[in-house]
C-alpha cells in the first residue's frame, strides 16, 4: 500500500481524483472490519484455485522460473488473508523460512513489536544474506503481509513480489558475487488503520533503522524493491520518487530484454517500503505495477485469477539482469 505525496490517505498514484475516493472508502472499510473482526481464515483459503499456468520456459527468462514463483504465490494465497500478527502470517513466515532453508540460504529473522494505532503488534522481518567478495551490499526487498480487510488475500499485493523474491533467493543463494546480496522480506508494510508515515512500512522502517545502527546501511549500493509485480495485465511505470539512475537501469534492462510493453515509459509516484531507505539516503527503486488502474487493488478480487507466471518470469528476469549489472559496477 502506498500513498501519494500530496494526499494523506491510503496507497495511490499521484493526481487521480478517482483514486482519492477509492482510498477513503478503503480506509473506512478497514476500520469497519477492525470493529467486526471477522475470522481471517475464510472459505477462500480452503480451496486454492487450480488455474492454468502461462509460464515461459526458464531458459527464456535467464534461469528465473516464473512457474516456481507462481506456485509460491498460490501457496501463500491458500493460507487466506495474511495481515500482520495473524496466524496465517505466522504460517507464511514458516513457509518462507522453510523454502529459504531448502535453497541453502543463510537467513536471519528479526522479531519486533510495532506500536500501531490498534496497539502493539508482533512483527517479523526475514533477511537472506549472501556473502560477497568485497564490501558493499545489493539489497532486494518485498513485503509479505497483506492489507487487513475481509476476504483480502493479496495475491498481487504482498504475494507476487514475495514469490518473486523466493525464486530470486533460490538462484542467488547458490552464487557468490563481487558484492553481497541481501534479500529482505518485510512484515507490516500495510497500514493498520490509515496510511501515514507512522502507520505503514513498519518492517522496512525497522530494518533501515537497525541497519543504520549496525553500520550496514552505508554499505548498501542499491535497494531494489518489488511490489504488485505479478498481474496478467500488469503495466509497470517508472516510479517517480525512486533514484533516477536505478529507474533508468531497470527500464533500459527491461526494454533490452524485450519487455517494453510490461515496463512502460510513464512516470507515476508510489509510496512504499523504498521510502524507508530513501529517507536514509539509500539509492532505491520501487518496481511496482500500476495498481491504481489494475481494477482489483485492495479488493477481494486481488486473487490468483489475476496472477501470471509469465509476468513473474519477465519481472524476475529483469531483477536478475539488474543485479548482474550492479555486480559489475
Ligand atoms: Zn497494499
Q: Ligand 1 centre from 298 Cα, in Å? A: 6
Q: Ligand 1 centre from 59 Cα, in Å? A: 32
Q: What CA–CA distances, in Å, run from 244 to 137, 229, 278?
A: 19, 20, 12
Across residues 34-47, what is the average pLDDT?
42
User: How does residue 99 score in pLDDT terms, banded at 50, 70 and 90?
Assistant: very high
| Grid cell listed for 250 | 531497470
Q: Ligand 1 centre from 250 Cα, in Å? A: 22
User: Quick check: 52 pLDDT over 70?
Assistant: no
Residues with CB under 5 A from ligand 1 (ion): 1, 147, 157
User: Quick check: 25 pLDDT over 90?
Assistant: no
Q: Ligand 1 centre from 299 Cα, in Å? A: 10
Secondary structure class of 286 (helix, strand, coil): strand
Q: Ligand 1 centre from 189 Cα, in Å? A: 8
Q: Ligand 1 centre from 157 Cα, in Å? A: 5
User: How does residue 114 score in pLDDT terms, banded at 50, 70 and 90?
Assistant: very high
Q: Ligand 1 centre from 53 Cα, in Å? A: 24
Under a CB-based contact definition with an 8 Å cutoff, are residues 230 and 307 in contact?
A: yes
Across residues 149-173, what is the average pLDDT?
98
Model confidence, pTM: 0.86
pLDDT at res. 101: 98
Under a CB-based contact definition with an 8 Å cutoff, are residues 286 and 246 in contact?
A: no
Q: How far is Cα 252 from Cα 257, in angstroms, rounded to an integer?
A: 9
Across residues 100-122, what is the average pLDDT?
98
- Angle (CA) 194 199 203, round 5°: 130
Q: Ligand 1 centre from 22 Cα, in Å? A: 13
Q: Ligand 1 centre from 28 Cα, in Å? A: 15
User: How does residue 55 score in pLDDT terms, banded at 50, 70 and 90?
Assistant: confident
Q: How far is Cα 327 from Cα 329, in angstroms, rounded to an integer?
A: 6
Q: How far is Cα 278 from Cα 316, in angstroms, rounded to an integer?
A: 23
Amino acid at each position: 500500500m502506498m500513498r501519494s505525496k500530496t494526499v494523506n490517505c491510503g496507497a495511490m498514484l499521484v493526481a487521480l481524483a478517482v483514486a482519492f475516493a477509492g482510498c477513503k472508502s478503503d480506509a473506512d472499510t478497514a476500520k469497519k472490519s477492525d470493529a467486526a473482526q471477522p475470522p481471517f481464515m475464510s472459505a477462500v483459503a480452503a480451496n486454492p484455485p487450480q488455474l492454468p499456468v502461462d509460464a515461459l520456459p526458464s531458459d527464456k527468462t535467464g534461469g528465473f522460473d516464473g512457474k516456481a514463483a507462481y506456485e509460491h504465490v498460490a501457496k501463500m494465497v491458500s493460507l487466506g488473508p495474511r495481515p500482520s500478527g495473524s496466524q496465517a502470517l505466522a504460517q507464511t513466515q514458516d513457509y518462507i523460512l522453510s523454502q529459504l532453508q531448502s535453497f541453502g540460504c543463510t537467513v536471519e529473522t528479526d522479531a519486533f513489536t510495532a506500536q500501531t494505532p490498534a496497539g502493539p503488534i508482533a512483527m517479523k522481518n526475514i533477511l537472506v544474506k549472501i556473502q560477497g567478495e568485497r564490501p558493499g551490499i545489493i539489497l532486494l526487498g518485498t513485503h509479505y503481509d497483506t492489507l487487513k480487510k475481509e476476504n483480502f488475500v493479496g495475491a498481487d499485493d504482498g504475494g507476487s513480489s514475495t514469490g518473486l523474491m523466493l525464486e530470486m533467493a533460490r538462484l542467488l543463494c547458490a552464487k557468490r558475487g563481487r558484492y553481497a546480496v541481501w534479500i529482505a522480506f518485510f512484515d507490516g508494510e500495510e497500514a493498520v488503520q490509515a496510511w501515514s508515515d507512522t502507520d505503514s512500512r513498519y518492517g522496512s522502517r525497522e530494518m533501515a533503522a537497525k541497519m543504520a545502527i549496525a553500520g550496514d546501511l552505508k554499505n548498501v549500493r542499491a535497494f531494489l524493491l518489488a511490489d504488485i509485480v505479478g498481474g496478467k495485465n500488469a503495466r509497470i511505470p517508472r516510479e517517480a520518487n525512486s533514484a533516477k539512475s536505478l529507474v533508468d537501469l531497470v527500464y533500459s534492462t527491461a526494454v533490452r530484454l524485450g519487455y517494453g510493453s510490461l515496463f512502460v515509459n510513464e512516470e507515476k509516484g508510489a509510496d512504499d517500503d523504498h521510502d524507508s531507505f530513501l529517507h536514509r539516503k539509500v539509492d532505491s527503486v520501487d518496481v511496482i505495477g500500476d495498481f491504481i488502474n489494475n481494477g482489483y487493488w485492495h479488493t477481494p478480487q486481488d486473487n490468483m485469477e489475476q496472477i501470471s507466471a509469465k509476468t513473474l518470469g519477465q519481472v524476475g528476469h529483469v531483477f536478475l539482469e539488474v543485479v548482474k549489472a550492479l555486480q559489475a559496477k
